[in-house]
A and B are shown apart, each in its own frame.
Chain A
Amino acid sequence: MADIILLLYFGLMAILRKSWLVGLLTILQVAAFAYIHSTIPGEEGMQFMVDKLSVFMFLLINVISSIIAIYSIRYIDEEDCSVFRKKYFLSILFWFIAVMNLVVSSDNLEYFFLFFELTTLASFLFIGFRKDETSVKNAITALWMNQIGGLAILSAIFTISYNGFGEATFSNLLAHASAPGILLPLAFLCVAALIKGAQMPFSKWLLGAMVAPTPVSALLHSSTMVKIAPFIILRLSPALKDTPVASVIIGLTGFVFVTAAIAALSQDYFKRILAYSTISLLALMIMMGAVGTPISIMVALILIFFHGISKCMLFLNAGVLEKVFHLKHASDMDKIGDAGPFTSFIVIIGFMSLLLPPFGAFIGKWFSIETLGSFALQQKLLGAMVIVAIAGGGAILSLLYFKVLGILIARNGSRDTIKFEKINPFYSGTIYILLGLVLTSILSFPFLLANYFVPVASQTLGSIIEVRTEGWNLHIGTLSLSFVPLLIAFVLFPLTIIVAMFIQFKNVDRAKEYMCGEKIDYSFSSFYFTVDRAIPYFSVIGILFFVALIAVALL
């Protein structure tokens, strides 16, 4: 029933905004939906499956959403619109959190489609919140791209019942994991996941979504909604393992990992840089879900969790930059090192937490290279190319982070003491909470790994992963992680940055920067970016991959 109302709303939007794409897709969806309803016997009630993976996603979604909700109370207050619109924003935010919780716990594919499309609706409403021309255009783009994903889910339901597998639920799909012809519904569900995760060629909607208010960018488009993509792949991973569909997905996500990083090097708009880096890391998570070995499932979970926290912190910081300092473009952020030391400090920690030991996202990348090593032993050429992609993409991402940091941390030497600037406690409080989460999660990482991630991974995979500690090492399956280097790396990295902010050397002279003897005070900071001419080619290659995905499933 609710589906019909939803689809009618989409049709209304199509007519109002005069978008033929949305109209076409809505008609297709209505047709598919009607056909399914008429041919498939209905069930008695909603079917939910709440297993450990859902609980894991609950933790991530609800913790991050509550922090963002607190942040957005203050953020939306400073926004330039009527009081009604402000309350409307907050209410849609809470409604979205509810829908998100339902998405990760629904078993029945039809209700999954409903909640999927409800998140699309939330995205559409949020992106168009500011009601100017770009926002409306980007909202329509997001709408039709995600509608293709919804259509893919409907096709999956259709092919399940057409091939006679019985009910359209996740558990049913997994139960028939090795039946012939199972690949087609799996492929359609993976297409839906890839679209939601904004992989090439469907990355335009996520980039356009950055015109939305920043709490939306933080919540939907980096920490929670786009995480539906690896979530679907993880749910399906026991069935996907070692199939041709998995190989095509691995190839596509390896390609996207590199090209999203390259495309990020050409951006000036700060939130778009963050969006492209999200797309890259999502590609890595999906790849790990598709590889399907015990270690790789664990890596996907680690990456989902830590990337969510770090990206949320970075986006909240981008919101502070937007509202307090009125800066959107990275090339304007010249004076932040002096005027806003707290902001630049958080950006350093945020970016470096995606890159360096001992942070969680680094451990994900580390283990992903290791598990791809064993993967390459079976799938030789694909494995080798994907390893090159991960190595190259990782290096390009590190270049990207340093490039952005370069303009943000330059400080004039004339004043040695750093005083953190005063920001509204809603902003700084939430950012401090996230920073605390980042730092404590490193310290408790072995404990988290053994008692939390491994059981979730075991249940998702369907087999037990053994964990044992041996002195200072933790052995998981065939992998061993030693604590001592990570502890020392913790001292070396985050603590170094914190100490470097506050340290003052006494009894040491202060001199000017070297400028070949000029006596003027010369202050320099720069940010380079060039327009990337290769982006359209990336989209074409992406479309080829998608076609290959469906083709491979059909054969």
Chain B
Amino acid sequence: MKLNFFRKKSPWILHYNAGGCNGCDIEILACLSPKYDIERFGMINTGNPKQSDILLVTGPVTKRSRERLVEIYAQMPEPKVVVSCGACACTGGVFRGMYNCEGGIDQYIPVDVYVCGCGTRPEQIIDGVIQALAILEKKSKELEQSVRLKKEPVKEGNQLNRRNIAGEIIKIA
């Protein structure tokens, strides 16, 4: 029985700040407030990657946060989508080229929807998430990995051992 339809009826969000200035974070939390109310779409802000479908990332990826970003992305069960909120998460924003930041999260994890803006507005975030839901409905349940991992998950029969797949990251220059 195809249950894909229900994926877009009850998307649960995980929100991660990869070193940003908190401007976009405040806008994401404003989405949960009564004025913009994303709970009417069935979205809950879970704090737990194991129970969420959508990863909302803000902030340019600082060197301290990149491994944790990949680790959290790896602990989410498929099907999952990533929405990068704000200019910093998309391309590095005002911090592009700095010594402590990588330029945007798509150097590390596959991104599905880019939402622009420096301090993105809640209406833009909601619009981006709704577009991500349409993509989510069509995704398969195959393993989706970070783009720069050295290790492959260990396959045991029909199941994967994903305990250490976020282990080592290939460095860029």
A residues within 8 Å of B by Cβ? 413-414, 506-512, 514, 516-519
Contacts and interface: CB of A to CB of B under 8 A. Distances in A.
A519 B164 CA distance: 8
Contacts of A507: 157-159
Contacts of A517: 16, 67-69, 71-72, 75
14 contacts: A507-B159, A508-B159, A510-B159, A510-B160, A510-B163, A511-B75, A511-B77, A511-B162, A512-B75, A512-B162, A512-B163, A514-B50, A517-B67, A519-B67
Nearest to A509: B160
Given A507-B157, A511-B50, A514-B49, A519 B167 contact: yes
Given A511-B75, A519-B166, A506 B158 contact: yes
Contact of A511 (B67, B68, B69, B163): B163
B117 to A, nearest CB: 26
Among all A-B residue pairs, the 10 with the closest Cβ atoms: A517-B68, A507-B158, A517-B71, A517-B72, A509-B160, A512-B163, A510-B161, A511-B162, A519-B71, A507-B159
Nearest to A512: B163
Contacts of B167: 519
B48 interface: yes
Contacts of A414: 163
B75 A509 contact: no
A516 B75 CA distance: 10
Contacts of A413: 163
Interface in B56-75: 67-69, 71-72, 75
A518 B71 contact: yes
Contacts of A509: 77, 159-162
Interface in B1-55: 16, 48-50
A508 B50 CA distance: 14
A51 B71 CA distance: 70
A88 B37 CA distance: 79
B68 A518 contact: yes
A519 to B, nearest CB: 5
A514 B75 contact: yes
B157 A506 contact: yes
A132 to B, nearest CB: 47
Interface residues of B, number: 21
Contacts of B158: 506-507
Max chain A Cβ within 10 angstroms of own Cβ: one of B71, B158, B166, B167: B71
Nearest to B48: A514
A517 B161 CA distance: 17
Contacts of A514: 48-50, 75
B67 to A, nearest CB: 5
Contacts of B161: 509-510
B68 A519 contact: yes
Given A510-B160, A511-B162, 9 more contacts: A414-B163, A506-B158, A510-B162, A510-B163, A512-B163, A516-B68, A517-B67, A518-B68, A519-B166
A507 B141 CA distance: 13
Contacts of A512: 75, 162-164
Nearest to A507: B158
Interface in B132-169: 157-164, 166-167
Nearest to A515: B71
A505 to B, nearest CB: 8
B79 to A, nearest CB: 14
A307 to B, nearest CB: 41
Contacts of B159: 506-510
A506 B163 CA distance: 16
B149 to A, nearest CB: 12
A514 B48 CA distance: 8
B127 to A, nearest CB: 28
A511 B71 CA distance: 11
Nearest to B143: A509
Contacts of A519: 67-68, 71, 166-167
Contacts of B49: 514
Nearest to B67: A519
A290 B16 CA distance: 63
Nearest to B76: A511
Contacts of B16: 517
B71 to A, nearest CB: 4
A434 to B, nearest CB: 37
B63 to A, nearest CB: 14
B107 to A, nearest CB: 17
Contacts of A518: 68, 71
Contacts of B75: 511-512, 514, 517
Nearest to B72: A517
A507 B162 CA distance: 13
Nearest to B164: A512
Interface string B102-137: 000000000000000000000000000000000000
Contacts of B67: 517, 519
B155 to A, nearest CB: 10
Contacts of B77: 509, 511
Nearest to A511: B162
A517 B157 CA distance: 27
